[in-house]
């Protein structure tokens, strides 16, 4: 009964978010560098030696209350010499409330690559998307359906037959990325035009601002294995919501480990631990969000996240082609 009520609260929250006054935040990935096109359009084509890559991502947030938030994404990108930059495609789906609220978007991305000098390069990216939101009103639960003793036993009196079930609209984003051999920094703005995503009345999708910075530094070398450390910082703001991620990756040969913290302005949210395996042809990562906010008392069971990247072979480029040194995950 408790789990059902919690799921219902999530559904009602989704309903409110698409209503008159509030706005939804974008889903967030903990392994944000393993989903680079989702993080910043300027990452399109920023692959090892510019060769194509295919990426799959999966996130299950709060599985303890019934797979309430599940997000998938798939992307493909690479550098195109004839265009002077990178091209990419990403498709992502977010399911909230056990699938009652679905968000699907498909994006085409282009990033212009500029070699400032032999030590530093800049990429400027643009993303054009088409988004579709679907809300299954028949599976929503409302307060007038609850009996204090027996739970959900009544029919709702809400007038839902005339409400739209689907909302679709174009969406645009842009980003910048600068990097050298051991340092990188980027900035992105998503939802530039703040499109209307309301089911009942106008509800603009607020702009999301992202800033990220980090480095990658060698610690030691043993035979062919180099140990590197990569401290990183990520800041995101969407309307009144602000989030900070900061932590460090340690890379030893093919093995990568990471420890992160995530918090908002008012609350310390979670610790994030991750493990990854990197090979020449692919990489795989798993991370777990350990909830430390007040939600830990709700038995949400944190969040699980998986990522898989396949690197495609291509012809060698000149040594002047700079490869970004950001973390693998």
**pLDDT attached to residue 159:** 65
What does the block give as tokens for 67?
A: 């797979």
With beta carbons less than 8 A apart as the criterion, state whether 109 and 125 touch. Answer: yes
CA dihedral (39, 44, 50, 56) in degrees, to 10, reads: 60
Distance in angstroms (rounded) separating the CA atoms of residues 280 and 310:
9
**pLDDT attached to residue 181:** 83
Mean pLDDT, range 99-119, rounded to an integer? 90
Using one digit for the tens of pLDDT, what is the confidence trace for 194-211?
999 888 788 899 999 999
Q: Range with the lowest mean pLDDT among 29-43, 102-116, 132-146? A: 132-146
Distance in angstroms (rounded) separating the CA atoms of residues 297 and 27:
22
What does the block give as tokens for 303?
A: 């969040």
Residues listed for the chain: 329
Instruction: Give phi and psi for 104, each to the nearest 5.
Output: -125, 130
Using one digit for the tens of pLDDT, what is the confidence trace for 113-129?
998 988 899 999 999 99
> Confidence band (pLDDT; 50, 70, 90) for 11?
very low
53 Cβ contact list (under 8 Å, min separation 6)? 47, 76, 77, 78, 309, 310, 311, 312
> Confidence band (pLDDT; 50, 70, 90) for 222?
low
Cβ–Cβ contacts within 10 Å for residue 314, how many? 14
Burial class (CB in 10 A: 0-12, 13-18, 19+), 63: middle
With beta carbons less than 8 A apart as the criterion, state whether 275 and 34 touch. Answer: no
The per-residue pLDDT of the chain, averaged, comes to 84
> Confidence band (pLDDT; 50, 70, 90) for 16?
very low
With beta carbons less than 8 A apart as the criterion, state whether 124 and 116 touch. Answer: no
First to last CA, the chain: 38
Query: Higher confidence at residue 188 or residue 158?
Result: 188
Using one digit for the tens of pLDDT, what is the confidence trace for 254-294?
999 999 999 987 788 889 999 999 998 999 999 999 988 76
Global pTM reads 0.86
**Domains of the chain by range and CATH?**
2-311 (2.40.160.40)
Pairing relation of β-strands 217-222 and 151-152?
unpaired
Which is nearest to 211 in space by CA: 192, 193, 230, 237? 237
> Confidence band (pLDDT; 50, 70, 90) for 3?
very low
**pLDDT attached to residue 85:** 93
């Amino acid at each position: 009964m408790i789990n059902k009520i919690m799921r219902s609260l999530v559904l009602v929250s989704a309903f409110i978010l698409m209503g008159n006054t509030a706005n939804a935040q974008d889903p967030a990935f903990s392994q944000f560098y393993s989903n680079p096109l989702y993080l910043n359009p300027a990452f399109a084509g920023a692959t090892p030696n510019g060769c194509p890559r295919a990426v799959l991502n999966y996130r299950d947030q709060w599985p303890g209350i019934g797979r309430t938030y599940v997000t998938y994404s798939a992307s493909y990108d690479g550098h195109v010499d004839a265009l002077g930059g990178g091209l990419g495609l990403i498709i992502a789906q977010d399911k909230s409330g056990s699938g009652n609220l679905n968000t699907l978007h498909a994006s085409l991305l282009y990033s212009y690559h500029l070699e400032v000098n032999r030590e530093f390069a800049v990429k400027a990216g643009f993303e054009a998307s088409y988004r579709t939101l679907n809300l299954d009103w028949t599976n929503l639960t409302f307060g007038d359906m609850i009996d204090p003793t027996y739970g959900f036993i009544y029919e709702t009196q809400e007038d839902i037959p005339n409400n739209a079930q689907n909302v679709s609209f174009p969406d645009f984003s842009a980003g910048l990325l600068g990097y050298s051999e051991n340092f990188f920094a980027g900035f992105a703005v998503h939802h530039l035009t703040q499109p209307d995503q309301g089911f009942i009345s106008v509800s603009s999708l607020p702009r999301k601002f992202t800033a990220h910075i980090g480095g990658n530094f060698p610690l030691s070398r043993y035979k062919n294995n180099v140990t590197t450390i990569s401290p990183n910082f990520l800041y995101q703001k969407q309307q009144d919501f602000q989030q900070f991620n900061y932590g460090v990756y340690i890379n030893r040969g093919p093995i990568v480990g990471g420890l992160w913290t995530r918090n908002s302005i008012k609350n310390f949210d979670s610790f994030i631990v991750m493990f990854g395996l990197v090979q020449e042809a692919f990489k795989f990562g798993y991370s777990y969000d350990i909830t430390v906010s007040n939600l830990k008392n709700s038995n949400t069971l944190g969040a699980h996240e998986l990522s898989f990247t396949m690197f495609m072979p291509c012809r060698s480029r000149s040594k002047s082609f700079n490869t970004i040194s950001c973390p693998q995950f």
